């Protein structure tokens, strides 16, 4: 599948996965911010570990764009485009993973893949 839009020459790729273990009832809050000072971030892929008894939620620039949902936008093992067309944000992507189990510790990975627009 072709992801639209495609990055332009000079755009800066982003793929920065984070993995954490969550005990029963714990929540993971991960915030991703563009590395360039002034930019627009294009996010076609947002993958997370898929577990039963979990909740997933995504916010971009203070607006909820996904969830809360019992399934992630896409599983890290599937790696298919999540948002068509790709979502865009300027300052902050915040992801919430909640382990709703009463008994099971789980490992969650959050992997945003996209690019920062160079503005050139």
C-beta contacts of 89-92 below 8 A and 24+ residues apart:
89/40, 89/41, 89/43, 89/60, 89/61, 90/34, 90/39, 90/40, 90/41, 90/61, 91/33, 91/34, 91/61, 92/31, 92/32, 92/33, 92/59, 92/60, 92/61, 92/62
pLDDT above 70 (res 55): yes
Confidence (pTM): 0.90
pLDDT above 90 (res 33): no
Mean pLDDT within 91-109: 97
Between 98 and 120, whose confidence is greater? 98
Question: What's the whole-number average pLDDT of the chain?
Answer: 91
């Amino acid at each position: 599948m072709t992801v639209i839009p495609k990055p332009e020459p000079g755009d800066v790729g982003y793929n920065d996965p984070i993995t954490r273990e969550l005990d029963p009832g714990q929540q993971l809050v991960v915030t991703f911010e563009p590395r360039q000072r002034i930019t627009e971030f294009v996010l076609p892929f947002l993958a997370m570990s898929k577990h039963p008894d979990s909740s997933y939620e995504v916010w971009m620039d203070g607006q909820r764009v996904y969830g809360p949902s019992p399934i992630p936008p896409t599983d890290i093992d599937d790696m298919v485009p999540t948002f068509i067309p790709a979502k865009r944000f300027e300052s902050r992507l915040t992801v919430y993973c909640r382990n709703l189990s009463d008994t099971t510790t789980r490992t969650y990975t959050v992997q945003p893949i996209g690019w920062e627009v160079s503005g050139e």
